[in-house]
Amino acid sequence: MIGVIQYGMGNIGSVKNALDHLGIPNIVTADKNQLSSCERLILPGVGAFEPAMNILTDLKFDVFIKEWALNEKPILGICLGMQLLLTSSKENGTTNGLNLIPGQVMPIKNAHRKIHIGWNKVEPTIENAIIPKSGFAYFVHSYACQPENKLNVIAETKYGNSFPSAIQKRNVTGVQFHPEKSQDFGLNILRNFAHASV
């Protein structure tokens, strides 16, 4: 069972629709008891970093997610959910994140438009079970993750400068794109996450 953390940030329905379509058992909830009984978690998210982090803290999801990660159980952050995994973000000042993967969230640099909207190529940089091969995925963001340790980068994408489009530290994975909106390429990534061993 995959638990999708419902904390009021963004279009969580599409993640559920994609998991349902793949036949992957899932539950969308804010109930920590129910989430605790799941094997894997997804932290979705669309919107700004600071309000999202405030909600996570208010609902004590920050502590819950950190404990989850310490227990070596898999968690996947999507889009803003990926950015929240890092130490801090420079979006509208500096805000601390969950610090599961050391690094900072910075504005996209040297790009044609300030928002990166559309399909772009995700190129794996390290052999990994979640993104075994390159393909196009759908992005919508204007900030990008910069992990301190380059070994935590598992895939890159070029928009202006190259930026990490997927990161991983043991059981903690993050993707900047929306796998639930990236047709077969994205659906495969969700399937891989549902089956990958840590």
Interface ranges with other proteins (CB under 8 A) = 11, 13-14, 17-18, 20-21, 46-48, 112-121, 136, 138, 140-141, 158-159, 178, 180-183, 186-187
Active-site annotation holds for 195: no
The DSSP string of 26-94 is: EEEES-HHHHHTSSEEEE---S-HHHHHHHHHHTTHHHHHHHHHHTT--EEEETHHHHTTEEEE-TTS-
| Closer CB to other proteins, 45 or 174, in the complex | 45
Active-site annotation holds for 180: yes
> Residue 123 CB, nearest distance to other proteins (Å)?
11
- C-alpha count within 13 angstroms, C-beta hemisphere, residue 84: 29
Tokens at residue 29, please?
């909830």
Tokens at residue 73, please?
């159980």
Could you give the 3-state DSSP secondary structure of residue 198? coil
Active-site annotation holds for 178: yes
| Closer CB to other proteins, 141 or 169, in the complex | 141
| Closer CB to other proteins, 37 or 92, in the complex | 92
> Residue 73 CB, nearest distance to other proteins (Å)?
26
> Residue 111 CB, nearest distance to other proteins (Å)?
8
Tokens at residue 61, please?
């999801």
Catalytic positions are 79, 178, 180
